A and B are shown apart, each in its own frame.
Chain A
Amino acid sequence: MSALLEIKNLHVSVTDTEILKGLSLSVSAGEVHAIMGPNGSGKSTLSYVLAGRDGYEITEGDILLNGVSLKDMNPEDRAIAGLFLAFQYPLEIPGVTNMTFLKTSVNAVRRGRGEEEMDAASFLRFVRDKAKALRLDDDMLKRPLNVGFSGGEKKRNEILQMSVLEPTMAILDETDSGLDIDALKTVAEGVNALRDAQRGMLVITHYQRLLDYIKPDIVHILAGGQIVKTGSPDLALELEKSGYADYVGEVVA
């Protein structure tokens, strides 16, 4: 069976500096992969280039989602194709309620897929059910998008968006950053609730602690713009003890 997400020998430059230097990995449906790596290893670059952000130039290699290359697609078409990125720093949009944003987003994606748009009433029911499943307060839906949200609320809101958009491939960029342990648990619960046999997840993180709550199937270590090691979840624990020094050294050598 072919992989859901396949990254092949990916080279990416940002303003002429090569950040990713031949990164390859593949995620199959139903799998959760974790990518760990030190600062500056290219973790955020990877999430941005997957989502199609401007300014991240693919100089070599390719990204396939369900066998279709994303390379020349703009960000919205990738979203429509089923790719979702939970942002490390979710953006604020003053004056636009969370509900309006979610509805606009869901309908944009549905339209893009040639599906019928949801009317206000059925969307309301749909999103309330989703929020309830994530044990989120209805109140959060009425507030302007991420404005005045605490760090924990912002991350939970990303998970809500993910559950509403029902992506086939979700990338979680440092979802644990800025969270206290309770918020971390809540967010992890949300993510776990969205694990699904049809869905792939790529969890990008700096620390092992998130992986205590979201148990990955496979762990990759990213250093110097490449995957330097791939293994079982034990790899993350190992890393917690010994640090990244060995791997950083490996690449330089």
Chain B
Amino acid sequence: MSQAKENIEKETVEQVQSLAGEKYKYGFSSDIDSEKAPKGLNEDIIRFISAKKEEPEWLLEWRLDAFERWLTMSEPEWAMVDYPQIDYQDLYYYSAPKSMDDRPETLDDVDPELLRTYEKLGIPLSEQEVLAGVKNRVAVDAVFDSVSVATTFREELASAGVIFCSFSEAVIEHPELVKKYLGTVVPKYDNYFTALNSAVFSDGSFVYIPPNTCCPMELSTYFRINEPNTGQFERTLLIADKGSYVSYLEGCTAPMRDENQLHAAVVELVALEDAEIKYSTVQNWYPGDEEGRGGIYNFVTKRGDCRENNAKISWTQVETGSAVTWKYPSCILRGDNSVGEFYSIAIGNNYQQIDSGTKMIHLGKNTSSRIISKGISAGKSSNAYRGQVSVHRKADKARNFTQCDSLLIGDTCSAHTVPYIETKNPTAILEHEATTSKISDDQLFYCQQRGLDAEEAVSLIVNGFCKDVLQHLPMEFAVEAQKLVGISLEGSVG
């Protein structure tokens, strides 16, 4: 086995070397496939999607209702991002599940940039193939049987009573749970993109943790990666029943091969009494090239509801990818004594645009929230923190602490902080701290004098800057996230 592994590692290195120097060769347009529904969005397409997934009638109605409302809505324009008008009739709304024919034959067919990143992250070849969606995964079983690994996990989870499956499966197998909670945290019509997602969502994850259960492992979409291409209009629903605990990891540190330009996902979290949800995301989709061409538009609505007393929801995100990010993972602190947390690292390089932050809505008594946001801008990127802390009339003794730090690299990028703070209860205590700093030439020179090259120095300084957030990531995730921070800032210093 170790011999096989060695061979594979050697092979990886050779492959990467042979590909070095090539330019990105995948655009975001793909030829029409007979398996796909035609371009455009109308009722027929929605019926088609629902039928393909063999959905019950109520869900089809739910989709159609969202679609009708979506037609009357308009795209939000308040964010500090600028992108060309999206022609929603020029997109495919049913491209998943992708046919095997669309997948690359071998790693030779995969974008070399992607492979280089895998290499830098130290991801074994077998996992690279899985991530890149390679069709003929010849070597995989020799070192890493992803299928059996996934099965083992499933069995262990099932014995704890945890439900962890795709959204489509949940609709069929646990309709009562889906029906009870779907759309209760993020209403269908919440905003333009949630209405769109509600109408056309492809698939996603479903998690239910039964009462008084501590989920025996970190749940990760990574284990379901052999069901790819569900990303474009993903829908995640996670319910932590009374007294339960779950840690959920979304995405993985390696970038996913992805050809969809528009992503409009919805994530709903429900924490019942005494339950705790920890939700971590590492997002590094294609950010576009150094000239700002291409890249993903990531328009995501994520919200958690501390529905009952003493519930806790904690968001941790590391956002390094996408050309445009529009994302505000939020907490509704409904139950008394409930706690919301938001720890964020958002890194922009080249022409990336980020408008991201959180909302902490204090409704219950003694609710508390904590926001730590670290924004890093390099190249010609723009990075805005937009956050709302709102304390309602009955939320006695609500408490919030917000810290927003921005770090600038170079002098062609920008950082913005847009806090909205409102309280209708005089007993609230709210704190907001914000800093903006720049990596100084002195710091760089100091590091270089100690043997670090400029990129290593930037990576070290930025990782230090992000430390307060990185330490909230699950251990094995944090190590890769640290590497990723360095990789995403490559080329940011001369």
Cβ of A40 < 8 Å from any Cβ of B? no
Give the size range of A's interface with the partner.
Answer: 20 to 34
The proximity string for A residues 142-168 relative to B, scoring 1 for CB distances below 8 Å and 0 otherwise, is: 001100000000000000010001000
In-complex Cβ contact of A75 among B448, B465, B466 (8 A) = B448
CB distance from B119 to the nearest CB of A (A): 17
Beta-carbon contact of B443 and A91 below 8 Å: yes
Beta-carbon contact of B445 and A96 below 8 Å: no
Beta-carbon contact of A79 and B449 below 8 Å: yes
In-complex Cβ contact of B463 among A54, A78, A95 (8 A) = A95
Give the size range of B's interface with the partner.
Answer: 20 to 34
Beta-carbon contact of A51 and B451 below 8 Å: no
A165 to B453, CA, bound (A): 16
Residues of B within 8 A of A26 (CB): none
Residues of B within 8 A of A100 (CB): 460
CB distance from A252 to the nearest CB of B (A): 32
In-complex Cβ contact of A95 among B440, B442, B446, B467 (8 A) = B467
Residues of A within 8 A of B465 (CB): 94-95
Cβ of B250 < 8 Å from any Cβ of A? no
In-complex Cβ contact of A96 among B440, B449, B463, B468 (8 A) = B463
In-complex Cβ contact of B450 among A52, A74, A94, A108 (8 A) = A108
User: In chain A, what residue has the closest Cβ to B467?
Assistant: A95
Cβ of B172 < 8 Å from any Cβ of A? no
Beta-carbon contact of B461 and A93 below 8 Å: yes
Residues of A within 8 A of B460 (CB): 93, 96, 100-101, 104
In-complex Cβ contact of A54 among B440, B441, B446 (8 A) = B441
Residues of B within 8 A of A106 (CB): 451
Cβ of B464 < 8 Å from any Cβ of A? yes
CB distance from B456 to the nearest CB of A (A): 6
Beta-carbon contact of B463 and A76 below 8 Å: no
Beta-carbon contact of A80 and B463 below 8 Å: no
Cβ of A105 < 8 Å from any Cβ of B? yes
Beta-carbon contact of A54 and B456 below 8 Å: no
Beta-carbon contact of B445 and A54 below 8 Å: yes
In-complex Cβ contact of A53 among B445, B447, B461 (8 A) = B445
Beta-carbon contact of A87 and B451 below 8 Å: no
The proximity string for B residues 456-484 relative to A, scoring 1 for CB distances below 8 Å and 0 otherwise, is: 10001101111110000000000000000
Beta-carbon contact of B451 and A76 below 8 Å: yes
A80 to B87, CA, bound (A): 55
Within 8 A of B (CB), among A107-148: 108-109, 112, 144-145
Cβ of B142 < 8 Å from any Cβ of A? no
Within 8 A of A (CB), among B19-41: none
Cβ of B418 < 8 Å from any Cβ of A? no
User: In chain B, what residue has the closest Cβ to A87?
Assistant: B446
A172 to B443, CA, bound (A): 18
Cβ of A36 < 8 Å from any Cβ of B? no
Knowing A91-B442, A104-B456 are in contact, say whether A79-B464 is a contact too (CB < 8 A). no
A144 to B468, CA, bound (A): 12
User: In chain A, what residue has the closest Cβ to B465?
Assistant: A95
Cβ of A90 < 8 Å from any Cβ of B? yes
A106 to B460, CA, bound (A): 14
Residues of A within 8 A of B442 (CB): 91
Knowing A104-B456, A104-B460 are in contact, say whether A93-B443 is a contact too (CB < 8 A). yes
Cβ of B434 < 8 Å from any Cβ of A? no
Residues of B within 8 A of A144 (CB): 464
A142 to B461, CA, bound (A): 16
A158 to B456, CA, bound (A): 20
Beta-carbon contact of B461 and A79 below 8 Å: no
Cβ of B452 < 8 Å from any Cβ of A? yes
Residue among A74, A75, A80, A104 with the highest chain B CB neighbour number at 10 A: A75
Cβ of A85 < 8 Å from any Cβ of B? yes
Query: Could you list some 26 contacts between A and B, CB below 8 A?
Result: A51-B445, A54-B441, A75-B449, A76-B451, A76-B454, A78-B449, A79-B448, A91-B440, A91-B446, A93-B443, A93-B447, A93-B461, A94-B465, A95-B465, A95-B466, A96-B461, A96-B464, A96-B467, A101-B450, A101-B460, A106-B451, A108-B453, A109-B450, A112-B451, A145-B464, A165-B451
The residues of A with any CB-CB pair to B shorter than 8 Å are 51-54, 74-76, 78-80, 84-85, 87, 90-91, 93-96, 100-101, 104-106, 108-109, 112, 144-145, 161, 165
The residues of B with any CB-CB pair to A shorter than 8 Å are 440-443, 445-454, 456, 460-461, 463-468
